[in-house]
Amino acid sequence: MSVSPLQKARYAYSPKLPQILKEDITGIKIELGTPTESIADQVELKKMFPHTYGGPVGVITKGGNPDAGTAMNIGVILSGGQAPGGHNVIAGLFDAIKKGNTQSKLIGFLQGPSGLTDNDAIEITPDYMDTFRNTGGFDIIGSGRTKLETEAQFDKCIEVCKQRNIRALVIIGGDDSNTNAAVLAEYFMSKNAGIQVIGVPKTIDGDLKNEHIETSFGFDTATKTYAELIGNIERDANSAKKYWHFIKLMGRSASHIALECALQTQPNVCIISEEVEAKQKTLASIVEDISRIVITRSNNNENFGVVLIPEGLIEFIPEMKKLISELNDLLAHHEAHYTTLRSFEDQSEWINKNLSRDSSYVFSSLPSNIQRQLLMDRDPHGNVQVSRIETEKLLIEMVEDRLNEMKNEGKFKGKFGSLNHFFGYEGRCAFPSNFDADYCYSLGYNAFVLIANGLTGYMSSVKNLSKPASEWVAGAIPVTMMMNLEQRHGTKKPVIKKALVELDGAPFKNFAAKRDEWAVTTSFLFPGAIQYYGPDEVCNQPTKTLLAEHE
């Protein structure tokens, strides 16, 4: 197989580890603290997870652990959307297993959780592993979004693991995947199956975080990739001086990606969904804000600019949030009838009859293409697929209409040309940055240490990430600690609570202090491509979000 020069060079990169993980793997152990509680719904969750609820937080320390030298088979699963660094999680896990005992085996289940239930797997060999080190993508074993939710699925998992003599499963995924990992761990415990489950925090959205999970892997690389593209567009906008670029960025629920990209590139406008919700800003007020900035810049003879829009914005606008909530409930409880409605006209008529008066008004006022997108097939949780809603086009259309009104009123004499973009898949499989290559390798290596210490229902944790890798702190966090109950398919289900942008946090405050200046004065920054070789300040800096949170 032919490879690019960069790919060949990256194969040879040696990821850095926290100092404690450089010790003899049979000479490190977990030191456990006091029992924990979930962030909410403690009584209900304790009943749901009687065997795994309330585990203590653990820190890796020096100490004998001869079990790490036992030959064992471990299974690994990639779950959900791709994120840069997934291959290095598996590489770290693989290397740790082999350091424990060269006879141990790593079994990769293919195409996500369905590979486990279908018993479709490969043994990851040294030669095979070496062709994926420090590269992007999940193609080493593939990924999938199958949910492990039923007892029949859980029993099949036990059967497959017993057949392959698997002692533990490592599930690499986001909040939903790690919730599934916790449910699986609880079921295995209840059945005395003797199979451990360890999770690894993955999502480019950055919404799987807390004091122990300082960032999810992939966020660093994805935001730097998007920031390069945004910087390129900013330079083009400043060169041509005739277009407003509306750029939608991935972030299903939280605006971490948009915020980080704004800190890296200094656009004229960056909408933060969490602020929109906190200030109860309507769609019309958002349009008014953007229109005001367009006019101000036009008066300065700058008929161009860049607007960053989080993917999930539409669910944070009060009237849209209410509409979407009603749509989700309607389609969840009347799915059978709704599927009999063949035409969009019939669907929208039925929807309008069953919505509240306010929501019906909002739905009817939207352009027909947005209405259609709101009624598309639901996601696996029964919710609107916001990534399919072209919010950037909606805002362009509404800003253009508002500017035309103001032009007729004599309040706007400039020009408004627009282009739209959506950056999503461009960042999910990028070559991981040095930070993500190191962080992911450490997470995978640490996952084996947790297994060797007998833990289950835990997530691999590496923190102190604003410091050099040698100062990182490896540990373990019980998944139930991060959980609450949320409405899914019309019923309350345990899930890891998403971490949204904190408006009193340092990253947002840094942004808010400068955005009025960026709106009027062209202050674009051009980060350029991710660098892998060179001085630390160019190659090994974490995100501005992480640095601000550790100031």
Q: Which residues are catalytic?
A: 205
| Residues sharing a CB contact under 8 Å with residue 484, sequence separation 6 or more, in sequence order | 38, 39, 40, 41, 45, 494, 495, 497
> Is the sign of the CA dihedral 252, 256, 258, 260 positive or negative?
negative
* Integer angstrom CA distances of residue 73 from 195, 299, 348, 452: 11, 67, 54, 12
Contact 107, 73 (CB under 8 A): yes
Which region, left, alpha or beta, applies to residue 488 given φ > 0 means left and ψ of -120 to 50 means alpha?
A: beta
Residue 248 and residue 387: Cα distance in Å, rounded? 9
Terminal CA-to-CA distance of the chain, rounded, Å?
A: 45
Contact 460, 446 (CB under 8 A): yes
| Residues sharing a CB contact under 8 Å with residue 322, sequence separation 6 or more, in sequence order | 356, 358, 359, 362
Contact 224, 264 (CB under 8 A): yes
Residue 148 and residue 178: Cα distance in Å, rounded? 11
Which region, left, alpha or beta, applies to residue 301 given φ > 0 means left and ψ of -120 to 50 means alpha?
A: left
Residue 205 and residue 222: Cα distance in Å, rounded? 9
Half-sphere exposure in the Cβ direction for 244 (13 Å, CA): 28
198 DSSP 8-state letter: E
> Across the strands, what pairs with 198?
170, 458
81 DSSP 8-state letter: S
